[in-house]
């Protein structure tokens, strides 16, 4: 990764410090928004009725005891296409209102939801005029070890990570780990397969299925805020939208690392195989040790890995970075099209490359173009300073290194990837 110095380093360290403080608060079951949750019952969830009861126990530590699906008690009433007059599941979120109905605070899960490796299947939500849409509308606590499978989720979403649309979480400001989603998710803005937007930590998560939105649409999440961190995650979803469309994240203002994307990405502006738009105000947006093999199609600012790298205004103090990453999918577009990066607007791309043959692109706004043979040669990456080692075959992993490669046979792959 590129070394961050001077004011950039100070800002980056400040961001990490703030996140660690927030994580400590979450671990103590205290809301990040300053809300001190009242005593709450800890629930063992066996039915949709039990799951529904979490909305009255936001600070509790809840455990999913078995899979939930369309045959589980409470589904027809609470989470089916006929529930709530056709709106389906009501996202778990608590809204407070000010004087004369003005908006107040939005409170979400502030405790823990432990899925224990179980799945919640057949979730149906049809709320095209609502924000904070997902199984959990908003979350500040810990969600782990849960799969949301065969979901059908429709919401509105706002151009802010705090009010998005996703199968698991609409807006995440906590910790989400070892979780996944499959199905179809659609909305207007901040739309993602797993979650709409995040200002917290997301690790070891994945999504597949179909995601569609207007702006900020991503296979895993629509928006990652300046304090958001995505690591060791992936998406195989097909993603479509208008602007800021990415295979993993639509709009990244935080950190994306050790992650990858496959599938297909289609949009108009700021379209990327991994990230559509990589830029932030006040902090450097970071993509590192990641790759995309997704096929990407767009109009303007289209890249195999990142559509645009850098902030919209050129006088911003901080730049955005892409480092130790690559792309290998086919890329097509009309203007500002690149094999790795479509457009660099004050950002940098270092120690990164793209396959000129599979992408169909001989140029990029950053990175080094390589042939397929060079992309499968470990010398290409050791020469760029990557943390990479050769393994004997694709079924082996050496977790002591970030990257593994079967020299002469495969592209680099992340050592945590499932076989």
Domain edges within the chain: 6-377, 378-419
- Taking only the tens place, the pLDDT of each residue in 321-377 is 999 999 999 999 999 999 999 999 889 999 999 999 999 999 999 999 999 999 999
Domain covering 6-377, topology: Pectate Lyase C-like (2.160.20)
If you average pLDDT over residues 392-407, what whole number do you get?
96
Convert the pLDDT of each residue in 219-232 to its tens digit.
Answer: 999 999 999 999 99
The confidence score (pLDDT) of residue 4 equals: 43
Q: Phi and psi at residue 13, in whole multiples of 5°?
A: -65, -35
Q: Which positions ≥6 away from 319 have C-beta within 8 Å? A: 8, 284, 310, 311, 346, 347, 348
**Other CB atoms within 10 A of residue 96 CB:** 10
pTM for the complete prediction?
0.90
DSSP 225-292: -TT-EEES-EE--EEE-SEEEESSEEEESSEEES-EE-SEEE-SEEEESSEEEE--SSS--EEES-EE
Nearest C-alpha neighbor of 267 from the set 245, 289, 286: 245
pLDDT at residue 284 in the model: 81
Please state, rounded to an integer, the average pLDDT across all residues of the chain.
Answer: 89
Least confident of 19-28, 78-87, 102-111, 404-413: 19-28
Farthest-apart Cα atoms in the chain, separation: 67
* pLDDT above 90 as % of the chain: 80
The two tokens of residue 291 are 């790759």
Q: What is the pLDDT of residue 319?
A: 79
Q: Using CA atoms, how far apart are residues 372 and 409, in angstroms rounded to an integer?
A: 10
């Amino acid at each position: 990764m590129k070394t961050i110095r001077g004011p950039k380093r100070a800002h980056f360290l400040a961001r990490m410090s703030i996140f660690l403080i927030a994580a400590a608060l979450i671990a103590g079951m205290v809301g990040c928004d300053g809300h001190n949750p009242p005593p709450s019952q800890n629930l063992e969830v066996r039915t949709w009725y039990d799951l529904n009861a979490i909305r009255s126990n936001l600070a509790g530590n809840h455990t999913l005891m078995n899979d939930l699906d369309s045959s589980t008690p409470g589904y027809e009433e609470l989470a089916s296409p006929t529930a709530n007059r056709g709106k389906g599941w009501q996202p778990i979120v608590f809204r407070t209102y000010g004087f004369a109905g003005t908006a107040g605070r939005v409170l979400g899960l502030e405790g823990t939801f432990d899925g224990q490796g179980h799945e919640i299947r057949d979730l149906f939500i049809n709320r095209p005029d609502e924000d904070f849409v997902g199984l959990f509308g908003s979350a500040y606590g810990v969600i782990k070890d849960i799969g949301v499978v065969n979901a059908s989720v429709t919401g509105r979403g706002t151009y802010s990570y705090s009010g998005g649309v996703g199968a698991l979480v609409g807006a995440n400001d906590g910790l989400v780990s070892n979780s996944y989603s499959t199905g179809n998710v659609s909305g207007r803005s901040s739309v993602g397969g797993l979650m709409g937007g995040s200002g917290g930590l997301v690790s070891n998560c994945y999504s597949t299925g179909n995601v569609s939105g207007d702006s900020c649409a991503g296979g895993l999440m629509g928006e990652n805020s300046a304090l958001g961190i995505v690591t060791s995650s992936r998406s195989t979803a097909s993603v479509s939208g208008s602007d800021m469309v990415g295979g993993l994240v639509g709009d990244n203002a935080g950190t994306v690392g050790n992650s990858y994307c496959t599938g297909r990405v289609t949009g108009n502006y700021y379209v990327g195989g991994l990230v559509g738009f990589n830029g932030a105000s006040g902090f450097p947006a970071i993509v590192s040790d990641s790759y995309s093999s997704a096929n990407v199609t767009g109009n303007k600012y289209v890249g195999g890995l990142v559509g645009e790298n850098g902030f919209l205004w050129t006088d911003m103090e901080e730049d955005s970075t892409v480092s130790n990453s690559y792309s290998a999918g086919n890329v097509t577009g009309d203007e500002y099209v690149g094999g790795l990066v479509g457009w660099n607007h004050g950002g940098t791309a270092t120690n990164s490359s793209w396959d000129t043959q599979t992408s169909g692109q001989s140029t990029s706004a950053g990175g080094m173009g390589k042939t397929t043979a060079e992309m499968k040669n470990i010398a290409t990456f050791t020469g760029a300073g990557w943390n990479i080692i050769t393994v004997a075959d694709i079924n082996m992993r050496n977790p002591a290194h970030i990257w593994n490669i079967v020299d002469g046979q495969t592209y680099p792959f992340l050592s945590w990837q499932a076989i």
